[in-house]
Amino acid sequence: MKQTTQIGATVEEAISLALQKLGHTREQVDVEVLQEGKKGFLGFGARDAEVRVTVKEIVQQQVNKEISSQPTPVVEEKSVVEETFGDESAIVNEDQPIHHEQQAQVDPIEEAKKYLTNIALGMGITDLAIEHESDGKYVSFKLSSEKAALLIGKRGLTLNALQHLTQLILNKTAKTFMVLQMDVEDYRERRQVALEQLASRMADKAIRTRKPVAFEPMASYERKIIHNALANRLDIETYSEGIEPNRYLVIEPVK
């Protein structure tokens, strides 16, 4: 089991440092918050956040190229895909393991594209277009379709699930571990702008009411967007509470 314990000024900073150390993305690890960070006042009462980050077993198996003869088990993401795809979600678990001697003959990016195309067909999407860019171990997929909303899902949940599952397919045949970023018609950029605007409004509300303001549960990368958007404000502090996948962000006025 690959894991590390990391401290940082905030939980999100500690997680970010741990991910850099492990060489994985947030979706590929489990996070246990050992201690929440606290800014304190004029340096007094401040404390670092501490987290324990563990690489998920399924990801570690991919890194080590220990491909099982059984379909890869997926729990959280499968439920999202099943809700969206219905019976067609069986496509996710029907892929067969590829032996090492076959890997040299397979383009991992093209295999990932074929997988996404099959998923889209199961959703009734026949016009899916996929553009890709690669830079070392980082690969980005840009998807477009007249039914883009189906690919995105509520608050991007379907998109996140597709990204995670497609990355597993990508790394099944890749010679080295690859990190996939997937977007649908610039949804993530538009979502970031909306979250930054929401962060500003909620911070103002916290100052106006002098009470903590809590967001609805959201993915770690979205919480990080809000953390970063408010990082330069000295009149409030932000921190996360709860347990994944129901972890949420709180804005609290500095007393």
Q: What is the mean pLDDT of the chain?
A: 81
Distance from C-alpha of 171 to C-alpha of 165, rounded to nearest angstrom: 10
Which residues, listed in sequence order, are joined to residue 54 by a DSSP beta bridge?
Answer: 3, 30
The C-alpha torsion from 67 through 73 and 75 to 81, rounded to 10°, is: 90
pLDDT reading at 62 higher than 80:
no
For residues 176, 181, 185, 188, the Cα torsion angle rounded to the nearest 10 degrees is -170
CATH architecture of 186-255: 2-Layer Sandwich (3.30)
The answer on pLDDT for 34 being more than 80 is: yes
> pLDDT band at 64, cuts 50/70/90?
low
Tens-place pLDDT, residues 196-210: 999 999 999 999 999
Residue 131, token pair as written in the block: 């553009």
How far apart are alpha carbons 94 and 119 in whole angstroms? 11
- pLDDT at residue 72 above 60? no
Tell me how far CA of residue 58 lies from CA of 150, 181, 244, in angstroms.
Answer: 27, 19, 18
Q: How many CB atoms lie within 10 A of CB 225?
A: 22
What integer pLDDT is reported at residue 78 of this predicted model? 45
pLDDT higher at 163 or 87: 163
Asked whether the predicted pLDDT for residue 12 surpasses 60, the reply is: yes
Do residues 14 and 8 lie in contact, with contact meaning Cβ atoms separated by under 8 Å? yes
- Which range scores top for mean pLDDT: 58-62, 84-88, 91-95, 164-168? 164-168
* Residue 23 to residue 138: CA distance in whole angstroms: 12
What pLDDT score was predicted for residue 61?
Answer: 58
User: How many alpha carbons lie under 13 Å from residue 121 in its C-beta half-sphere?
Assistant: 9
How far, in Å, are 20, 53, 55, 74, 231 from residue 63 at the CA level?
Answer: 16, 16, 10, 17, 34
Q: What are the distances in angstroms from CA 114 to CA 118, 128, 205?
A: 6, 11, 47
pLDDT at 144: 95
Residue 232 to residues 7, 48, 227, 237, 239: CA-CA distances in angstroms? 20, 18, 10, 10, 14
**CA 65 → CA 5, 111, 131, 163, 174, distances in Å?**
25, 16, 27, 20, 9
Query: What kind of fold does domain 65-185 have according to CATH?
Result: GMP Synthetase; Chain A, domain 3 (3.30.300)
**Is residue 92's pLDDT more than 60?**
no
Please give the Cα distance from 33 to 14 (Å, whole number). 10
Name the pLDDT band for 67 (thresholds 50, 70, 90).
Answer: very low
pLDDT in tens, 37-59: 766 544 445 577 888 888 887 65
Q: What are the counts of helices (DSSP H) followed by strands (DSSP E) for the chain?
A: 9, 9
Instruction: Assign 163 to helix, strand or coil.
Output: helix
Higher pLDDT, 34 or 100: 34
Which of 196, 54, 184, 45 lies closest to 125, judged by CA?
Answer: 184
Mean pLDDT for 58-78 is 46
Q: Which two tokens stand for residue 168?
A: 């597993």
Average pLDDT score over residue span 74-84: 46
How many angstroms separate the CA atoms of 205 and 183, rounded? 31
Listed by start position, the domains of the chain span: 1-55, 65-185, 186-255
**Residue 130 pLDDT level (bands cut at 50, 70, 90):** very high
